[in-house]
Structure 1
Amino acid sequence: MAVRSDTRPVDALGHALREFGQLVALGLDVFLGMFRRPFQVREFIQQFWFVASVSIVPAALISIPFGAVITLQLGSLTQQIGAEAFNGAASVLAVLQQASPIVTALVVAGAAGSAICADLGARTIREEIDAMEVLGVPVIQRLVVPRVQATMIVAALLNGMVSVVGIVGGYFFNVIMQGGTPGAFLASFSALAHLPDLWVGTIKALIFGFIAGVVASYRGLRPRGGPKGVGDVVNQSVVITFLLLFFVNFVISLVYVQIVPPPEV
């Protein structure tokens, strides 16, 4: 009697690899479509306004406690090792390089990305996407590219807002609650921070916005099982985006540390 081996893990791995390959292919198509005419200006403006309207308030509310927690934790640590003078630089660099782009990406993916995925999923189950393809309308150029562009631009702008709010909140909590001196906070920041620290945060926000838009669009164009499937792909898009964001953030941070030398004190 022959014993059949369980091939389910192999099949699941193959399915995951196919899905990842299709996601990468869609990302390449979207990236190339950004430089290809016709440009969907009206759709881009509508999506930009929508993504910004659902992301600004949550990002601002999250950035205040986020910056406060970082400042309080770093302030306690620097006091223990006798390095209070560097608390400003440490907290500001942590906000610029890590906290701000991550907070921005999580808000964009959770609020705007889920809405984009639900919208495209609803269009798909209503067979609007199939009708556009039958009529010869390029779905990626018409629907996906403007949404990804909107998430990228909004993420970059929100990153600047979150950085400012986080730094101001960190300054307040360090000076008011921990008894730090304003001069030491500002002096350490100007001595240890440099312009690439700001650029890497902005680049991260752009990349994270691109990933959030592509993943939301990819899952939204492939729902299964009717309206229930739309809800499932929305949840999947948020989870997949979060996983990719943290992995990509690790890679970018590792490369940045290796190629950008720290300023001399």
Structure 2
Amino acid sequence: MSAFRRSGALPAQAAARAGNGLREFGRMCSLALDVLVAMGRRPYQVREFVVQFWFIASVSITPAILVSIPFGAVISLQLGSLTSQLGAEQFNGAAGVLVVVQQASPIVTTLIISGAGGSAICADLGARTIREEIDAMEVLGVSPVQRLLVPRVQAAVCVSVLLNGLVSVVGVVGGYFFTVVVQGGTPGAYLASFNALAQLPDLIISTVKAVLFGFLAGVVASYRGLNPKGGPKGVGDVVNQSVVITFLVLFFVNTVLTALYLQLVPAKGT
């Protein structure tokens, strides 16, 4: 009988966890909507936005550059090996650049924004929450969303766009170096294949991903930072949770956007 009760308790626990997860997801979506609405309201927190923008950029630029170089190198070396086996070396440039711009840049941006910027946002808001600063602001009639969340999310979006462009440039330059210098490719063939297959929508979808990723990273970090449990230890827990949740959400969104783009936008020359 006790074993039956234990086995019956497992589905109940799973259902309870699923219900809690759905409620958390709904609250996060509600917070995202509140942030979007508050972005169009005055007063604009320009000073706070500049401070947050500079902080997130300062902790993200160097890691982004250091990560983008091996990304471009690995992609170029792997594609160079495959195209050499197939006798299609002339497509090295196009394949490498398209992979870097469409996929590698948004993914690196995701890792950096969620790991460096998002964790800092979550820790800051979590510390403010356990010190009851958020409750004090609400008592005084100051909106925490307008005062704290909006400038942080906006800063995350702007830094994400800039990082995406930076990673694209560094990745393309690194890919060119490893393809032409290391593997002995032809510079003219590299550039010609890129011009033949690359198109403006490739850059547009990369920028759209960067904007959406920055917004989601800021919202997830803000939501977890506003809901710590257990004092200082709880702040550390929500920081870890925010990074993991952001990774899962952004990789899922990246997959959906990539699939839609490949289905809706025809390849150049088709």
Match of 1:166 among 163, 171, 183: 171
- Number of paired residues? 265
- Matched with 2:155 is 150
Q: Structure 2 CA distance, aligned partners of 1:30 and 1:87?
A: 43
**Residue 39 of structure 1, CA deviation:** 1.1
Match for residue 216 of structure 1?
A: 221
Give the match's secondary structure for 1:180: coil
The Cα shift of 1:171 comes to 0.2
For the aligned residues, what is the CA RMSD? 1.1
1:225 is aligned, of 224, 230, 247, to 230
1:81 alignment partner, one of 72, 80, 86: 86
In structure 2, the residue matched to 1:35 is 40
* Unaligned segments of structure 2, at least 5 residues: none
Q: Equivalent residue for 1:55?
A: 60
Paired AA for residue 57 in structure 1: T
Aligned residue for 1:179, secondary structure, equals coil
CA distance in 2 between counterparts of 1:209 and 1:129 reads 23
Aligned to 1:121: 126
> Match for residue 24 of structure 1?
29
Q: Secondary structure at the match of 1:156?
A: helix
Counterpart in the other structure of 1:185: 190
Equivalent position SS for 2:42? coil
Report Cα offsets for 1:85-142 as digits up to 9, x if no partner.
0010000000000000110121011001001100000000000001001101000011
Moved more, 192-201 or 3-12: 3-12
Match of 1:8 among 13, 18, 42: 13
* Equivalent-residue separation in structure 2 for 1:64 and 1:235 (angstroms): 26
Whole-angstrom distance in 2 between the partners of 1:215 and 1:181:
45
Q: How does 1:196-215 map to 2 (within 5 A)?
A: 196-215=201-220
Q: Post-superposition shift, 1:259?
A: 1.2
Paired with 2:101 and 2:37, the residues of 1 have a C-alpha distance of 29
Deviation at 1:77, TM superposition (A): 0.4
Instruction: State the alpha-carbon separation in 1 of the partners of residues 40 and 72 from structure 2.
Output: 37
Deviations 1:189-223 (A, max 9, x none): 00000001011101101100001100000000000
1:19-48 per-position Cα deviation (integer Å, ceiling 9, x unaligned)? 011111111111111112221111111100
**Whole-angstrom distance in 2 between the partners of 1:168 and 1:47:** 30
The alpha carbon displacement at 1:18 in A equals: 0.4
Alignment partner, residue 144 of structure 2: 139
Measure how far apart 1:10 and its partner are: 0.6
In the alignment, which residue of structure 1 is the partner of 2:249? 244
User: 1:66 — aligned with what?
Assistant: 71
* Runs of 5+ consecutive residues of structure 1 not aligned to the other structure: none
* TM-score normalised by length of structure 1: 0.98
Could you tell me which of 107, 124, 130 is aligned with 2:112?
107
* Counterpart Cα distance in 2 of 1:212 and 1:81: 40
2:245 counterpart letter in structure 1: I
- For normalisation by structure 2, the TM-score amounts to 0.96
CA distance in 2, matches of 1:193, 1:207: 23
Match of 1:92 among 88, 92, 97: 97
